[in-house]
Chains A and B, each alone.
Chain A
Amino acid sequence: MTAIPLTPSEAAEPAFTGRSAWRLFWERFKEDRAALFAAAIIALLVFIAIAGGPIAQRVTGHSNTTAYTQTMEDAFGIPKGPNSQFWFGADGAGRDLFVRTMYGARTSLEVGVVASGIAVLIGLVVGLVAGYFRGWADTVLSRFADVMLAIPQLLIAIGIVAACSTTKTGCLHGLIQPGLGIVIGVIAFFSWSIIARIVRGFTLSIRERDFVEAARSLGASNTRIIFREILPNLIGPIIVYTTLLIPQSILFEAALSYLGLGVPPDTASWGGLLNQAAQYYDVAWWLMLFPGLFLVITVLAFNLLGDGLRDALDVRADR
């Protein structure tokens, strides 16, 4: 509907510019310098994840998996520190720590993003159903979430990882492969119920809003309401909580690798490197410092970005 100009002067220039929700978000986000900085760091990390490892290998001439036992380990097997050839020193097995730290970015980001993605997907579906349809679906979800909370996470994780570790084909007829597959599966398994609870909360409040009421009174089917009215309003929270779930997943993977339960020994992982650091912490400070710093900075960047997105999208967890 076009505005009827009241006076010729008013018709010349618009009284206000209509802004879409995305426009609003972008304006607000642009102002948040911390969040922009975080986004830049993440972009850099993504680059490192994709190309950092191979570039490091090319530049240093050291492969990711070769143990340089004769040059970088002393007679007692203790790794040696940074020098001109090995910029970060050697890891616990005599490999180039710089190359492995670069490859570690790939592991962390891969596991973090994929595991979070799966968890959000499952959580979205379950939370939506529970929050919209209420009734027994809702009860089942709450009960399930109660049990998930009380389960000893680490023990079950050990059990699952061990159960799928000893053959070449993994378990569930090859559906879950040992290695990254299992770690992603385990993290997703323990994370989805948190997302489901959040989505349920949002769905509950959205469905009480006027426009949903209006759509229903117009005779819209449940499917239409869900896809047309509720889901679009969930996108904001989903983006925020996915971004906030990624650092949790990264830390979870690091913790599993630290305990020796995570990725296979060949694959570089910051948590795995810290596991080696624990053995040599009083004689090999570099093993503690470099992987740890990278891990902290990555997690920090995602948390910062998530915070910024939450502020810009004006998302607040409803009770």
Chain B
Amino acid sequence: MFTQIPSNTEGLSFGFKLFQGMQEDNLSYIYRGLFTQTITDSIISLAENNLDSTGETSKVKKRVFSIMVECLQNITRHQTVEGEEYNDSNIQGIFMIQQKIDSYFITSGNVVSNIAIPKLRSQLEKINSLEQDELKGYYKQILEDGSISDRGGAGLGLIEMARKSGNKLTFDFSKVNDDTSYFYLHTCISKELEASTPIIVNLDNIKSLHQLANEEEIVLVFNGVLNQESLINLLSIIEGQMRGRLDIKKKVYNIMVEMLQNIVKHAAKIEEDTVVGNPGIFYISSKDNSYSLCTGNYIKNKNVEELKSKLEHVNSLKGDEIELFYSMRLLNFEIDNSKEAGLGVIDLRMKSGNNLEYSFSKVNDDISFFTLQVSLK
């Protein structure tokens, strides 16, 4: 579908390449890191915003939400074991949603202690052995038994996920060390309950994606509709996640706003619709304490040259020239709105202290895909 016309791509990272590979997926988003209440809330709002803008029926939305909530609670419940948080960046949990034509996939991967695995496995096997109408009875039975574990579980959440999804749960474990393993749980939510067919999913892809995300220290990959509301949710997730120096945090925040608002305001759509916002991809990683932010969006072919020359010009500026160019633009009110975007681009260059990496790939006669990467050391 895409013809590669690379331009100024030499410095593009490995994560960027992964991100480019995702363009054709329907993947909505991946989040990796700590799961706090604020972050969890924002992840849910983000999904809500995207489901609203795609016009999903409220029935399907409700089912997607309740499964998301169960899934996220499952992660937060397990991210601390014996009171200690897993701060090791190599073993952080992952959460993802994918939207397919007739279903949604929700997948989580989180650390569990090896001791807990046999019980978890038997609960899941038991749930998967039951038909939909039997699940309700089993749920009641567990409630009456009162055998609720001290972690609040006893598998009630898992039963709910199986009931609401109308499908079997797919799961797998992958050893981290002698004490812990990753627990992967994958749920398919069919839009039409009746039409649900047993889907056999191999979680190997998910496992390797998680491994890659760990290696590249990817925090978040978002692929969906970008509007002001999803922007605010993404900001809140990243604000909640970032550790370390305040000035770096502010710079990342700053760069994110400019990059995402460029998409909200200026990106093209591949086909006209009534959705508020524009399709785009956003990705952020923090490998070796250096943040890398990347966006991808459509642009009309007729606007490519202008943007390209703007980027080339901004990259060519040295030292004080950038500051001077910014000040000049800042106080020039003759410049019309479309050119105002120039200020954002200069700001990205100033704040990051690095050249902007970018590429354009032609999609068809009308539209290209534009990717921009800003690195912050």
**Is chain B found bound to chain A in the same assembly?**
no
* B interface list, Cβ under 8 A from A: none
* A interface list, Cβ under 8 A from B: none
